[in-house]
Amino acid sequence: MKLKKSASLIAAIAAATATIAVPAANSVTVGPGSPIRMPEPGAAVDDGRHVKTGMCSTGVPGTVTDADGVQHRVIITAGHCVNPDGNPQLPQSTGEIFAPTHDGNVRIGEVGPAGFPLMDENDPAAGDLGAVLDSTFNGSDYAFIVVDEGVGTTSVSQSVDENGVAGGNGGRIVGADGVPMTGVVDYRELKPGEVSVDNFGRPICSDGSRTGRNCGVQVFRVRNGVWAVSYLGKGDSGGNAYDPITNQAIGVNSMAIGPVARYQPVDQAIQEAYGVEDGKVNEHFAVEESTAPQSDFRTIGQDVAADQAWIAENEPAPEPGAGSLIPGLPELPELPLPQLPSLQLQ
């Protein structure tokens, strides 16, 4: 296959106004569905917690062996969470990733290979419906977190929603059990613009730190997207999507359009980022063997409340129209529903 090189890290990394202490070894255990924080350059730190930072979730962790035989210990998440190209339309990032423990934010790694080719709003092609559709359906949305030494990882997919409810999802899947991932669904690679329904009717479940666990039904897939009737919310981005029959990781939570959700396939991300051949992903990617429980993390609800209190004390007159603290899931622009182009159905 023709390899697509991942996006580079954000070039300029500004110094934070305060520092986060380096954690002791194995002081935190992260797994599929865990919450993460992506501080902006110069973010204030309050009681060990970055203020007004981006909030997302993690996908499956493991060790990938690239085309040159070099091993990398990584966790996958969504590319739009870390803004790898420093796009001004998204929150900026230092490239460092933190886990929100109750003792403060703990660094778990930094952004490695990533892909999220967001179309610039000033690009003439942004007004081209075909180009917008191509970007939406075929564009990648992944980032690999290169895990720091001493940080624990687990294969157990689990989530706690923004209110601290295990399983979450408005109480519909309360107490949902943790599910150890057994591998990665390795699809046949599709060409750009190709659509396949070989996954039609298959179940899919996802874990994220905003709404918790959601389950639905797959409809079709494209090169960089598995589409399903399911639900995702802001903050679930980057979380783990898996097949509840095989317990194999399918993808990471990427975007939602009403009741329809899109997931970036893990196999395609590994192929593009690390030069792995189609059909050989599970030979090159070993899911974390540990089935240890995830650490107890702060919730999105707790961090939003803490930020509001900090803002009230330190910024009594916030700028009007301040954006959400949680990176939004990419959505289609408000355009008339198009007639889809002629696509190859397999």
User: DSSP letter string over 283-327?
Assistant: HHEEE----PPPP-B--HHHHHHHHHHHHHHH-SSPPTTPPPSSP
Residue 93: predicted pLDDT: 87
247 exposure class (CB count in 10 Å sphere: 0-12, 13-18, 19+): middle
Its pTM stands at: 0.82
Show Cβ contacts of residue 192 under 8 Å, excluding neighbours closer than 6 positions. 134, 138, 223
DSSP state of 127: G
CB atoms within 10 A of CB 283: 11
Determine phi and psi for 281, rounding to 5 degrees: -60, -45
Torsion of CA 120, 124, 129, 130, to 10 degrees: -90
CATH of domain 29-314: 2.40.10.10
pLDDT at 333: 36
For residue 324, the model assigns a pLDDT of: 59
pLDDT at 315: 85
CB-count burial class (<10 Å; 0-12, 13-18, 19+) for 66: middle
> What local confidence, expressed as pLDDT, does residue 319 receive?
60
The single residue listed with the structure tokens 């797959």 is: 218
Residue partners of 108: CB distance under 8 A and separation at least 6: 28, 30, 36, 75, 97, 98, 99, 145, 147, 148, 151
Give the pLDDT of the chain (346 residues) as one tens digit per residue.
333 333 333 233 223 333 444 444 458 999 999 999 999 999 999 999 999 999 999 999 999 999 999 999 999 999 999 987 777 877 888 999 999 999 999 999 999 999 997 766 666 655 566 666 666 677 899 999 999 999 999 999 999 999 998 876 654 555 578 999 999 999 999 998 899 999 999 999 999 999 999 999 999 999 999 999 999 999 999 999 999 999 999 999 999 989 999 999 999 999 999 999 999 999 999 999 999 999 999 999 999 999 999 999 998 765 666 555 555 544 433 333 333 333 333 3
Q: Which of 92, 74, 72, 73 is nearest to 82 (CA)?
A: 92
Describe the chain by its helix, strand, coil percentages, rounded to 5.
Answer: 15, 30, 55
* pLDDT number for residue 325: 56
Angle at 277 (CA atoms; ends 276, 279), nearest 5 degrees: 115
Helix count and strand count (H, E) for the chain: 5, 21
Q: Is 42 exposed, middle or buried (0-12, 13-18, 19+ CB in 10 A)?
A: exposed
Rg (the chain; Cα; Å): 19
Mapped onto helix, strand or coil, the DSSP state of residue 142 is strand
Q: How many residues does the chain have?
A: 346
Alpha-carbon distance of 321 to 91, in angstroms, equals 15
Nearest to 115 by CA among 156, 79, 88: 79
Which candidate, 138, 254, 244, places its Cα nearest to that of 182?
A: 244
Question: Tokens for 278?
Answer: 């189609």
CB contact at 8 A, 140 and 269: yes
